[in-house]
Structure 1
Amino acid sequence: MSDTDVVALLRNHGIHPTAQRVLIARVLFTYCTHLSAEDVYRLVNADNRRVSKATVYNTLGLLADKGVVREVIADPTRIFYDPNTAPHHHFFDVATGELTDISAEQIHVSGLPPLPNGAQLEGVDVIVRMRAAK
């Protein structure tokens, strides 16, 4: 993704495109995989840049709040940021920490309880935790 594409994406989501935000978003969409905040911090600063951890964490939170990326909490110790915002689910390998996509059409959820009054369904996220068989 070019900087021009990233700037347009951020503006389309109501985000002011600072240099750091453009860099962080470009990393997410260049790698196009599930990255933790620490992964993003490491990649953003790989070329001796000086983007603070606070800026990375705050920007990732903003990108998630505005719908540019999805937060996926597969492991209680870290949040993954997913540039694929289309409905889908995930496999999580608990041994390796790898997160991979499952097409939304491959999982069917039924029997959800009624929502509380005044609530509307926003989505259902399924995380299938697994490890290699012994």
Structure 2
Amino acid sequence: MADMSIRQATELLREAGIPVTLQRVEIARSMLSAPVHLSADQVFSRVRESVPATSRATVYNTLKLFREKNLVRELIVDPERVVYDSNTAPHYHLYDAASGRLVDVSADELKVVGMPALPPGMELEEVDVIIRVRSRA
């Protein structure tokens, strides 16, 4: 299923302070072996190939935990599509609305100039930029 070894995934989870379970290891292998943009259902399908007893709730809860530990980013591509991005370095996204394909755009390729004044007591968590495109035809 994934290029990341079980040992590597286990070590990564331990370093992040995440208790290790077989399901979490397989979710980590699915998400963190290479840069990917996967929905929770796609992760669920991948993990079920090697650990059939994995529940959908386990996948959703683990992805939430991975997000809290900054192992993945949650991207709300549109109101009906949420994907998890294994690339947590600063970058943006190009989204093909027709195909649903999401591609990373290097932070060097797009400049966001300035930030709005934040309300009192608030701090910036992150900036998500999704450039939506579609074929001219």
Give the shorter-chain TM-score range.
Answer: over 0.9
Q: CA deviation at 1:30?
A: 3.1
Q: CA deviation at 1:95?
A: 0.8
| TM-score, with length taken from structure 2 | 0.91
Q: CA deviation at 1:48?
A: 6.6
- Residue in 2 that maps onto 1:51: 54
More deviation, 40-49/56-65 = 40-49
Contact kept? 2:34, 2:86, Cα under 8 Å: no
Q: CA deviation at 1:110?
A: 2.1
More deviation, 116-125/65-74 = 116-125
Q: CA deviation at 1:31?
A: 5.0
Question: Is 2:11 the counterpart of 1:8?
Answer: yes
Identity %: 49
Query: After superposition, what is the alpha-carbon deviation per residue over 1:5-64, rounded to whole angstroms, capped at 9, x for unaligned?
Result: 111111111100111100111011235310000101111112472211111111111111
RMSD of Structure 2 on Structure 1 (CA): 1.4
More deviation, 4-13/84-93 = 4-13
Q: CA deviation at 1:100?
A: 0.4
Q: How many residues align?
A: 134
More deviation, 82-91/111-120 = 111-120
Q: Structure 2: any 5+ residue segments left out of the alignment?
A: none
Q: CA deviation at 1:92?
A: 0.7
- Residue in 1 that maps onto 2:38: 35
Distance in 2 (alpha carbons) for counterparts of 1:47 and 1:13: 23
- Residue in 1 that maps onto 2:100: 97
Distance in 2 (alpha carbons) for counterparts of 1:83 and 1:64: 10
